[in-house]
């Protein structure tokens, strides 16, 4: 079976015609709802377009503006607010992604800080006063090590 060369919209409609059913829609809706942006795991461009593809496949008649707003809500409150503050409506998908990448690389918005546990040692209270303790925090690209000196 040879279909020849077609653009993406033709292929998209063919896939939807063949595979769209209730379980497919349920799976797509669940994957959209469950995925929340995590700056340590997700790249803004890939995450945003994956979300956009899922929503546009589910809702063929939904406008890009509404799709973009739904996607921004999945970024979290602070990140959503920062992106909307930088982009003036009407705004293209590329503008939202550009703002998102800029915010994530220049600010701490969207990052989570985790405390890495120190090695457990059995020490007496007197030894703690004379040793320095270390707390590690990891961020998006950098690892900071804060040394706290006890007096």
Instruction: Quick: pLDDT tens for 112-142.
Output: 665 666 655 555 555 544 444 444 444 444 4
The separation between CA 138 and the C-alpha centre of its own chain, rounded to angstroms, equals 17
Same-domain check for residues 76 and 131: no
Question: 147 pairs with which residues across the strands?
Answer: 134
> DSSP readout, 36-71?
---TTT--HHHHHHHHHHHHHHH-TT--HHHHHHHH
Residue 101 shares a structural domain with residue 50 = yes
Same domain, 100 and 68: yes
pLDDT tens-digit readout, 9-56: 887 777 777 776 777 788 888 888 888 888 788 888 898 988 898 888
pTM for this one? 0.57
Tally of structural domains, the chain: 2
- DSSP E strand boundaries for the chain: 114-116, 133-138, 143-148
Residue 133 domain boundaries:
114-148
Q: Is 1 contained in some domain?
A: no
Whether 89 and 25 share a structural domain = yes
Regarding whether 74 and 46 lie in a shared domain, the answer is yes
Contact 55, 67 (CB under 8 A): yes
Residues 58 and 85 in one domain: yes
């Amino acid at each position: 079976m040879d279909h020849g060369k077609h653009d993406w919209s033709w292929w998209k409609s063919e896939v939807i015609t063949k595979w769209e059913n209730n379980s497919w829609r349920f799976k797509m809706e669940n994957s959209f709802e469950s995925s929340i942006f995590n700056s340590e795991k997700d790249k803004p461009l890939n995450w945003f377009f994956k979300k956009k593809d899922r929503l546009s496949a589910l809702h063929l008649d939904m406008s890009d503006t509404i799709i973009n707003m739904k996607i921004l809500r999945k970024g979290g409150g602070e990140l959503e607010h920062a992106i909307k503050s930088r982009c003036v409506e009407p705004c293209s998908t590329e503008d939202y992604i550009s703002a998102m990448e800029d915010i994530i690389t220049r600010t701490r918005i969207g990052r989570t800080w985790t405390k890495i546990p120190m090695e457990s040692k059995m020490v007496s209270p007197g030894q703690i006063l004379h040793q320095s303790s270390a707390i590690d925090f990891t961020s998006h690209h950098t690892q900071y090590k804060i040394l706290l000196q006890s007096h």
